[in-house]
Amino acid sequence: MTLNTIALELVPPNVDRGPQQAIEDARKVLQYSAAAGIGGRIEHVMMPGMIAEEDDRPVEMKPKLDVLDFWQTITPELPGVHGLCTQVTAFSDEPALSGRLRDLVDAGIEGVVFVGVPRTMQDGEGSGVAPTDALSIYREQVANRGVIMIPTREGEAGRFNFKCDQGATFALTQLLYSDAIVGFLTDFAKQNDHRPEILLSFGFVPKVENRIGLINWLIQDPGNAAVADEQAFVKTLANSEPAQRRKLMVDLYQRVIDGVAELGYPLSIHFEATYGVSAAAFETFAEMLDYWSPPATA
């Protein structure tokens, strides 16, 4: 079973802004997608279940509306759009996590990406269920079980192969600001038989990134030259005029699609506007989809 989709990341609003902000965000998605000529093309929203991370996060992490509450609030505003989410597993025991997943699936969430501890902790820390264990434990409960893929991370091929062995059906890539994913998936295809669905993730970079640096912070990996190159590209995007910024992102999209389309992986697209949805972001996404989009299901 593949998702075969175009997904848009929507972050639940801060609790203090309430459900009304969630409704306004959903309506903006309809407005901007229609204006950009891709009305009806967004088939899923990806809702991250966010937890507090490092103190140096450029934008303060305030309590967010729960993913389940957010989804139930925006569903009436987005007819025909389905739900995906990320779920932190490392702080929930099996009964609690099982109940949470049951609630998500019953609410119409079609896929769950299992994620672990924040970067301040080591893999395996946390009193709950490791994401790799969740992949196998909940095979029967969650049809589409996802993992995060970071193609520039050291040892990622072995890590990803293990996740596939455990039962991952799809991977959501970290935001892609280079075509490193092409070499990664090419090599992985030569060395492994697994062909999970890949949600290729592309993020719009507005000028405000120059001042705040949230995207730079999100993709950081100190000492990793490949990531340093991606951070430099993010800076170039932020410093570019809108037309040039759009051209640079579309060129990257084309290189990635051309490089991975024939490798045998089912492909979906995941778009993210890290600073919030905007007309400019949707214009860029629309131009990408003009080049390639997942084939429509019958």
pTM score: 0.95
Domain total in the chain: 1
What is the rounded distance in angstroms from the CA atom of residue 201 to the CA atom of residue 219? Answer: 12
Q: Identify whether 177 is part of a domain.
A: yes
* Domain annotation covers residue 1: no
Q: Using CA atoms, how far apart are residues 76 and 79, in angstroms rounded to an integer?
A: 6
Q: Looking at residue 102, which CATH number applies to its domain?
A: 3.20.20.220
Q: Could you list the residue range(s) of the whole structural domain that residue 171 is in?
A: 6-291
User: Residue 6's beta-bridge partner residues?
Assistant: 269
* pLDDT of amino acid 116: 84
pLDDT tens string 169-223 = 999 999 999 999 999 999 999 999 999 999 999 999 999 999 999 999 999 999 9
Q: Which two tokens stand for residue 292?
A: 């390639």
On whether residue 297 sits in a domain, the answer given is no
Is 274 domain-assigned? yes
The pLDDT of residue 95 is 96
Sites in the chain below the pLDDT cut of 70: 52-55, 117-126, 296-298
Residue 144 lies in a domain: yes
Distance CA(232)–CA(221), nearest Å, equals 13
Residues contacting 55, CB < 8 A, separation 6+:
none
Exposure string (b/e) for 264-288, b if CB count within 10 Å is 16 or more? ebbbbbbbbbbbebeebbbbbbbbb
Query: Would 296 be classed as within a structural domain?
Result: no
d(C-alpha 189, C-alpha 211), whole Å: 40
Which tokens is 166 given?
Answer: 């455990």
Question: Which tens digit of pLDDT belongs to each residue from 211-233?
Answer: 999 999 999 999 999 999 999 99
Q: CA 205, CA 245: separation in Å to the nearest integer?
A: 8
